[in-house]
Amino acid sequence: MNQQSASLLVRLLHRGCLIALIVGYAPSGWTFPWDKDMVDQAPIKAQEAPRPGDTGAVPVNGGETLPAPTTEEGMLAAKEAAASLANPFPASRESIQIGGNLYEVNCRVCHGRGGQGDGSVGLKFATKAPVNLNEAYTQDQPDGEIFFTLTRGRGLMPLYRDALSAAERWHVINYVKTQFGEQ
């Protein structure tokens, strides 16, 4: 066998091995077991809160109970019960400043600069504008009720328990109570 024939035989064997490898992996769908991780994960839609765990479980962080009441009457009763919650942060200059910064990031888009419900997103609401934070409806509510609304959401307002810590929600309340309303 000459050199040229041997070279041709080697090339054919390499191609044969390559073809055998390709044919051997083809039935498995060209995937590895970990390639399906994205397919097999739990479906969570955008802006959907994580599913609550066992209601008897002890929270690891946050200490807030889940799930929220499921009926309108249950929500109203829970909000009224929350009225007894005392704001642990006095309305100091520091607290109001922190609350103002958080308001600008999280609340202004709906409630507007002056809290009148005329924010850039709030103006797009078709059914009902966001609550005017200057009105007695908000200003006369105990801090605990507003905390409940920030935590659980209400109507078109989403919940903010995942976006703001409990302390941050109290600071926002201090800002809303001191900067809006009739002064």
Q: Does pLDDT of 32 surpass 70?
A: no
The reported pTM is 0.64
pLDDT cut 90: percent of the chain above it: 40
Q: How many CA atoms lie within 13 A of 124 on its CB side?
A: 4
Q: How many CA atoms lie within 13 A of 82 on its CB side?
A: 23
Where do the structural domains in the chain lie, given as residue ranges?
72-179
Cα gap 84→141, rounded to integer Å: 11
Kindly indicate the confidence band of residue 34, based on its pLDDT and cuts at 50, 70 and 90: low
**According to CATH, what is the number of the domain 72-179?**
1.10.760.10
φ and ψ at 12, to 5 degrees? Answer: -65, -40
| Among the ranges given (23-37, 63-77, 141-155), the one the predictor scored with the smallest mean pLDDT | 23-37
pLDDT in tens, 50-78: 666 655 555 555 555 556 677 888 888 88
Mean pLDDT of all residues in 11-34: 57
Position with higher pLDDT, 109 vs 48: 109
Is-contact 81 93, C-beta < 8 A? no
Q: Does pLDDT of 35 surpass 80?
A: no
